[in-house]
Amino acid sequence: MKEGKGYRDEAAKRRIQFSEIELPAAGMDVASAIDKLNEGVRAQASDPELALKLGPTRRGGTARDPVRYFRVTGTDRTFVQGLVGRIGTTGRLHAVLVIYEDEGPAATPSCMERDGKALMETVSIPVGPAGSASAGPVAPAPPITLTTAAVEELKRQLGPGETVWMGVNREGAEYSYLLDVGEKVPPDAEKMVVQGIPIAVDRGSLPFLTGTTVDFVAGGGFKFDNPNVGRKPGTGN
């Protein structure tokens, strides 16, 4: 196992850790391989000395990138642990072990499971022609899509050297969105260029913005259509 990058958002009390795993999986499909690996992870976490209570394994992801995850409860913390994987052309399983923890005041175990699953489904596992996973930590793919109206409005607002900063505030299952324009961005922000617009996203918010489409409505401001939230599109402040 190769340790990857971890993210910590102290303000929101969220912690995320990625670790890469590569194992032989000749003659196995990816679902069977990830199930077998998940059994091994659960067996390790079931060590009596750890005194952890494991919830049932749940499924997500896609046929090509399946996700397996379960809740872990200890004496002083609760977190979600899971795996996402893909079979390379050489018959080896390339997987990422994800640990997601949310100690926010509004967090509940069910919300943590939902958000942990959403996070795992954003993990990208590029496998090259030789069947080897990409080197270095695995990170979510660029998450934001901008409509034509949003691009035009942001271009109007952006000045020389300025960047659009986006973030998410969560209270339980409710999401609210932050959008600002300026020269200063948080030092740990994930920077990207989306449809020609320079954007910085708070790392703690990045998993929860993946797949989001930002629109602009005259008289109504910016609208966030987030598939990770089962409600109507939110409005950015």
Rounded average pLDDT per 10-residue block, the chain, 237 residues = 50 72 80 90 87 93 90 89 83 84 76 83 63 41 80 92 86 77 79 86 77 90 80 46
Which tokens in the block code for residue 31? 């679902």
pLDDT for res 11: 55
pLDDT for res 214: 92
Residues 88 and 70: their CA atoms lie apart, in Å, by 25
pTM: 0.56
If one counts every other C-beta atom within 10 angstroms of the C-beta of residue 131, the result is 14
Nearest partner of 111 among 5, 237, 230, judged by Cα: 230
If one counts every other C-beta atom within 10 angstroms of the C-beta of residue 181, the result is 13
Residues 211 and 67: their CA atoms lie apart, in Å, by 17
pLDDT for res 113: 85
Q: Which domains does the chain have, with CATH numbers?
A: 2-120 (3.40.1000), 144-235 (2.60.300.12)
pLDDT for res 121: 81
